[in-house]
Homo-oligomer: A and B are copies of this chain.
Amino acid sequence: MVAADAGVSRATVSRVVNGSPKVRPEVVESVNAAIERLNYVPNRAARSLASHHTQSVALIVPGDMTKFFGDPYFAAVVQGITNRLDESDYTLNLLVASSDPRHKTMRYLRSGNVDGALVISHHTGDDFVANLETAMPVVFGGRPTNHSGRNNYFVDVDNIAGAVSGVQHLIDLGRRRIGTITGPVDMPAGIDRLTGFRHALDEAGLPGDAIEHGDFTAAGAAAATRRLLERHPDVDALFVASDLMAVGTMGVLAEKGRLVPRDIAVVSFDDSPAATSGPISLTTVSQPSKEMGFAMADLLLRLLADDEAVPHHNIMPTRLVLRESA
C-alpha cells in the first residue's frame, strides 16, 4: 500500500492524511506523492470504525417533502449547504423526519450514523429534535421554536426587521390599509414576520387587523387571500410572508381584477426565483438563502471540529428588493 511505497509506516500515512502537524514536511511530501501515484483513497468505513466518527451529517427535512423542496427558497438553502460541504469531506445524508415512524429515523441518527445534523423548517412539537440534540451537534435553519437552552445553534435572518422594512415601504408609498397573508404561526419565521408587520403598522398608527393565515404554499395563500379580500375589501396593500405564497396571492388578485400595484401593492419575502417568474415581478424582502445554507453547514462543521468560540447564532441581514409589485 501507500506506506510501503513511501517507505514509512501506516501510522505515518494516517497522520499525513489527517493533517497531523507532527510529521516532517519532507515526509509529508513523499507520502502525498505516493498517495497521488497509487491513486489512494482512504476507506471511509474503516476510518469510521477506528475513529468513531462518520464524516457525514444529516439533513433533516419535514415529512411532507413536496412542500419543502417545492419551495425555491429551501432549494437555495440546500444548495448553500452542499456548497459548503463540498469543500469538506463530509457527506450529506437526506433524512425525512416523518412524525409517524420517528423511531426508525431516530434510531438511525442516534446509533452513530452521522456526526451532526442540520434541521430545516422545524415546526413546534417536534420534540423529536430536542432529543437529537443530546446526541450530537445540531444546527437549525431558522430559529427553533423551543429556543430553550444554551446548546442551541441556528442561522436565521432578522425576520422582524425584514418585515418592518417591507411594510414600511408600503407605508412610504402612501398605502394606508395594509393587510398581510402570514406564514404558519407555529413557525418562528411565520410569527416573526407577522410581528414585524404589526410593529411597522403600530409605529405608523395604522390599523393592523387585516390578517389571514397561510401555510407557505401558493394554494394556501390563494385561499387566504380570498378570505382577506372578502373581509377587508378596502385593502390597498398586502404584505405576503413568502414569494411562493405571493404567487398564489397574485393569481387571486388578477382573478378579482385588482391591478397590482395600482389597486393593491404587494410586498413579499424571500426573493426566490418565484419572485420573478410571474407576469408582475415582486418587490420582496431578500434573504440570502444560499448564504444561509452555507452558514449552517459552516457552523456545524466548526462545531464538529471542536472549534472554540463558535457563535451560537448567525442572524443574517435582509434587503428590500424593489420590483414591479410595489
Contacts and interface: CB of A to CB of B under 8 A. Distances in A.
Interface residues of A, number: 56
Contact of A79 (B66, B76, B82): B66
Interface in A44-88: 44-46, 48-49, 54, 56, 59, 65-66, 68-72, 74-76, 78-79, 82, 86
A208 interface: no
A105 B309 CA distance: 32
A129 B46 CA distance: 27
B69 A277 contact: no
Nearest to A272: B70
Copies in the complex: 2
A217 B278 CA distance: 11
Interface string A74-104: 1110110010001000011111101001001
15 contacts: A43-B111, A56-B93, A65-B78, A65-B79, A66-B72, A66-B79, A70-B75, A92-B94, A217-B273, A218-B274, A219-B273, A251-B278, A251-B279, A251-B280, A254-B254
List the 10 closest pairs (A to B, CB-CB), nearest first.
Answer: A218-B277, A251-B279, A69-B75, A45-B48, A41-B111, A70-B72, A255-B279, A45-B49, A65-B79, A70-B75
